Structure 1
Amino acid sequence: MAPPDNNHYADTGRTRQKSRTRDALIDAVRDLMARGEDPSVSDVAEAAGISRTTAYRYFPDKESLLNAAMPQTGERSLLGEHPPSDVVERMARTLDAHFAFMRRWDPQLRAALKASIAPGAQQPSLRGGRAVRWYEEALAPLAETHPHLDRHALAVRLRAVAGIESKVWLTGVGGLNSDEADAVMRENALDILRAAMARDPLPSGR
């Protein structure tokens, strides 16, 4: 579950006005990120025409603001309710949810990627390694079935073929449309997973 922002403030007294203020802050952070910025709460408040003191009443830090603007960023898992036990099915579900996230926030993700590769740049908030965490959660059953597999290393490999970087290349250089690119990334990731599982068979006696 995503960590809550300071919604209790918005839910008490003058709720309509507070809802408009909260929405203005969320719209502002999305717009700034789509332009390649990695704004602080103060930056977002200025862009929205709202005082910093007021903004911090809604969002005490940048992470809470990001989670409100792009809720999936705060999720520890993309598996949803009643996740399957089969690891390939879990990964397929996670990949599909990740690709939906990338389609929804394509401008922001592309801008964050561009900002992250500038000389001397710090990693923007959207470049926080969240997908690796999502993939590790999908791979969790391997702890029992394939205990010798390094699940973190495998999650990194999967992320390398199924992130915004691959999407940008496949659509911009490879000439694929968005759906075709997603299909290629999905197939590549699942092939890597199956190959890794085949190289580390179940322990004898199980």
Structure 2
Amino acid sequence: MGTQSTTGRANQKLRTRTAIVQAAAELSRTGQEVTMPEVARKALVSEATAYRYFPDLLSLLREAIAGQLPTAAEALRPVAGSADPVERVAAATEFLLRHVLARQGVVRAMIAATVVRPAEAAARPGLRFGLIDHALAPAAESGAVGHAALDQLKRDLAVVVSADALFSLIDLNGLAPEDAISSLLHTATTLTRAALRDDRRAESSDGPGTTAHLEMAD
């Protein structure tokens, strides 16, 4: 009898936990604000019960959205056949920003949680760095951009291809979402073109003619 009772309680706890995670996952897909009280209401449990299973909203959201994010290759499938860094960066930028906009409630909640707890930031699920790496992979493999220039470009793009940049333009600059996306798309592609152009100029200045000149001077 005791074993059956213990098993029954364990099953009930599992059902409650699953209901909370599912409620958070469903809310995350709506784009609406995601809070622990709202998750609890949707899961038909009290807020105190939700906190018994998850110590904070961040830990709940990490579990709720696990498996929801596409891989970088899936996200950039439309440009899989292209080796053009500008085209690939444009596709990565637009995909990320539209993904963020569609799920802005959960994204805002996770940003807020990690701003006050920076040690948790690394555990925040994200697409940004993987998308940028994948977008620039053909350029890295072909040597179209030098190693140092490529690393700098990735850092530059990480500032622009981000939820933080999108929300800054919408919330602080007052841009409409579509205008904000267009602005960041313009910046990302401009950075990419500039990196390609500057790297080619650097290569030109270090070309055979320059080397020969230096050898003669020696």
Q: TM-score range by the shorter chain?
A: 0.5 to 0.7
Alignment of 1:90-109 (within 5 A): 90-109=88-107
Q: Shift of residue 81 of structure 1?
A: 4.9
How many Å separate the matches in 2 of 1:121 and 1:92?
A: 31
Is 1:28 the equivalent of 2:24?
Answer: yes
CA 1:152 to 1:105, structure 2 compared with 1: closer, same or farther past 3 Å? farther
CA contact (8 A) 1:102 1:164 kept: yes
How many Å separate the matches in 2 of 1:82 and 1:197?
A: 19
How many Å separate the matches in 1 of 2:194 and 2:130?
A: 21
Identity, in percent, stands at 21
* Higher alpha-carbon deviation: 165-174 or 78-87: 78-87
* CA RMSD, 1 decimal: 3.7
Q: Shift of residue 97 of structure 1?
A: 1.1
> Counterpart of 1:164 in structure 2: which amino acid?
A
CA contact (8 A) 2:85 2:136 kept: yes
Alignment of 1:73-92 (within 5 A): 75-77=71-73, 78-81=75-78, 83=80, 84-92=82-90
Q: Which residue of 1 aligns with 2:183?
A: 184
> Counterpart of 1:95 in structure 2: which amino acid?
T
CA deviation profile, 1:72-101 (whole Å, cap 9, x unmatched): 3xx133211551121111111111111221
CA 1:96 to 1:110, structure 2 compared with 1: closer, same or farther past 3 Å? same
CA contact (8 A) 1:87 1:141 kept: yes
What TM-score does the superposition give when structure 2 sets the normalisation length? 0.61
Alignment of 1:46-125 (within 5 A): 65-68=64-67, 70-72=68-70, 75-77=71-73, 78-81=75-78, 83=80, 84-118=82-116, 122-123=120-121, 125=123
CA contact (8 A) 1:36 1:111 kept: yes
* Structure having the higher Rg: 2
- Alignment: residue pair count: 166
Is 1:130 the equivalent of 2:127?
Answer: yes
CA deviation profile, 1:95-124 (whole Å, cap 9, x unmatched): 111122111111111111111111566227
- Secondary structure of the 2:157 match is helix
CA 1:140 to 1:96, structure 2 compared with 1: closer, same or farther past 3 Å? same
How many Å separate the matches in 2 of 1:146 and 1:93?
A: 19
Give 4+ residue runs of structure 1 displaced > 6 Å after superposition.
21-24
How many Å separate the matches in 2 of 1:30 and 1:150?
A: 41
CA contact (8 A) 1:162 1:189 kept: yes
Q: Which residue of 1 aligns with 2:13?
A: none
How many Å separate the matches in 1 of 2:138 and 2:98?
A: 24
What TM-score does the superposition give when structure 1 sets the normalisation length? 0.65
CA contact (8 A) 2:149 2:199 kept: no
CA 1:27 to 1:167, structure 2 compared with 1: closer, same or farther past 3 Å? same
Q: Shift of residue 162 of structure 1?
A: 2.3
Stretches of structure 1 that go unaligned for 5 or more consecutive residues are: 1-20, 38-42, 50-61
How many Å separate the matches in 2 of 1:159 and 1:178?
A: 19
